[in-house]
Every structure is written in C-alpha cells, then in structure tokens.
Amino acid sequence: MSERRALEFYSGLVDASVDTTDFTTAELVKTVENAYRDVNIAFANTVALLCEEYGSDVWAVRELVNKCEARAMHRPGPGVGGHCIPKDPWLLIAQSKEMAATALIRTARETNVKMPHIVISRIETWANAHKLPNPSVLVLGLAYKEDTDDTRDSPSLVVIEAALARGWGVSAHDPHVEPSFPLGGAQRIGALEGTYDVVLLLVAHQEYLDGGISALTSKFFLDTRGVFESSNPPLKTDAAGTLGVSR
C-alpha cells in the first residue's frame, strides 16, 4: 500500500520513470552513484598529475581517450564539493569490514580532498620562483559548481583558508553567492577589475567564460578547470597555466 502511494505521489512530480525497490537497494543506488563519480573524478585528477610529471597535457590526453568507444574520462579540477559526493562514498563503505575491497573508494576520496592543496602548491611554487612570499591572489568562484550559489564543501573555501594561513592577500569573487557569505580574512570584491599577482579560476561560471574577467591583470593566471587555452588567456597576464599541463 505505502509503495503504491509513494509511486503515485512521485509519478505526479517528475516527468520520468519512477522505480521501486527495497530500502537497502535504494540506499546503495544513491551512494554508489556518487561514489562512482568520485572515483572517476579522482582518476582524472590522478591522470592530470601524471601528465604534469610526464610532460604532457591532460586535456589533450582526455580528448583522445574519450574518442575510444565506451570511454568517458571525467574532467580533472581543484577538488570535489557539494552535499553528496564528499559524504556518500563514506556512507557506502562505513559498515563494511572488507578493507581491501573498499580501498579504491577510500583512495579516491583522499585524492579529491588533496586537490585544493595541490592548487595551493602550484601557486606557491610560482610565487617562490618569482620571489613573492606573500602574493596577492584573486579567487574566481566560491560555489562548488558552476552557475549555482551552493558553497557546501566547496574546494574554493579550502583554497582560501590555506592561502590565508600562508599570509597571502586573498580576494574573492562570485556572481552567484551572496555578498554576505563569510570568507574569514579574504576580501570580497564586486567589480572584476584590478591587478593581482595571481588570478585563480576555480569555478567555470558562465560570466567568466563570456569575457567577464577581461578587465583583470595578473602576473600569473591559473585555470584549474581547463576552460581556456593557456596560449590565449582571457585577461592580461604575464603567464598562464592549468592543472594537468607540464610547465
């Protein structure tokens, strides 16, 4: 009776097929789907780091890999956020006693958690090479996902915290997140203009893709989403790069 009523209720809310199953299977579907994405993103991030080490370009590698039948390599980036992916892999394996069987999921989580710190290390390496112990950094994007205002577990917040802990001057911009959102010691800016040592693209908001950052100037532009060609950055900069590309 309850299953029939639930089916009738949800069938009236969504324009899609509604499947019914037992509670355990339903919970497994939910957590497995998000663990699947987490593992695939972690694989892409691992490949990106390997490409940097081997002197290649992860975006070229990804494009060619995905030309193979039944291949869908995810996009690497500065980490994984949101309400579901950071927690669902842990929910999936929480009660399992098979440590070896769950090692892949654990490793994927650890890989994606470390990515914001990889971003920081890339900036740190550049700043040290240019004798800038306390660079001014503009973070583009606070949400965990493009064109949303959702900041839950956003990698951007980890990057900002780590940059502030190093004594860097940090500014941030996001066209979707409320101006009152707390950022610790970082300065929130409204207008996309001015000069910074580093401009850091963490979220591919459409405003940024459509030329919204063209009035900015930087010594180093780091595109962690791989949405711009390093040879044709969208702002005036002395140097440009992206994760997963040998420099």
Could you tell me if 138 and 231 lie in one domain? yes
Could you tell me if 68 and 134 lie in one domain? no
Domain ends where: 108, 130, 154?
108
pLDDT bracket for residue 247 (50, 70, 90) = low
Instruction: State the pLDDT at residue 121.
Output: 97
Max CA distance (Å), the chain: 70
Residues linked to residue 171 through DSSP beta bridges, in sequence order: 138, 187
CATH number at residue 159: 3.40.50.720
Domain that holds residue 18: 2-108
Could you tell me if 132 and 232 lie in one domain? yes
87 is catalytic: no
Q: How far apart are CA 174 and CA 204, in angstroms?
A: 10
Could you tell me if 88 and 205 lie in one domain? no
DSSP state of 130: T
Point out the least confidently predicted range of 17-31, 122-136, 168-182: 17-31
Q: Is residue 247 part of a domain?
A: no
Per the structure, the count of domains in the chain is 2
Instruction: State the pLDDT at residue 241.
Output: 94
Could you tell me if 145 and 211 lie in one domain? yes
30 is catalytic: yes
Could you tell me if 200 and 161 lie in one domain? yes
Give the C-alpha distances (Å, rounded to integers) separating 235 from 120, 200, 210, 224: 21, 12, 12, 15
Residue among 67, 68, 84, 87 flagged as catalytic: 84
What's the whole-model pTM score?
A: 0.94
Residue among 30, 87, 114, 145 flagged as catalytic: 30
Instruction: State the pLDDT at residue 6.
Output: 84
Could you tell me if 64 and 82 lie in one domain? yes
Q: Is residue 55 part of a domain?
A: yes
* Residue with tokens 């610790």, as numbered in its chain: 184
Instruction: State the pLDDT at residue 120.
Output: 98
Instruction: State the pLDDT at residue 101.
Output: 84
Q: 210: how many CB neighbours lie within 10 A of its CB?
A: 10
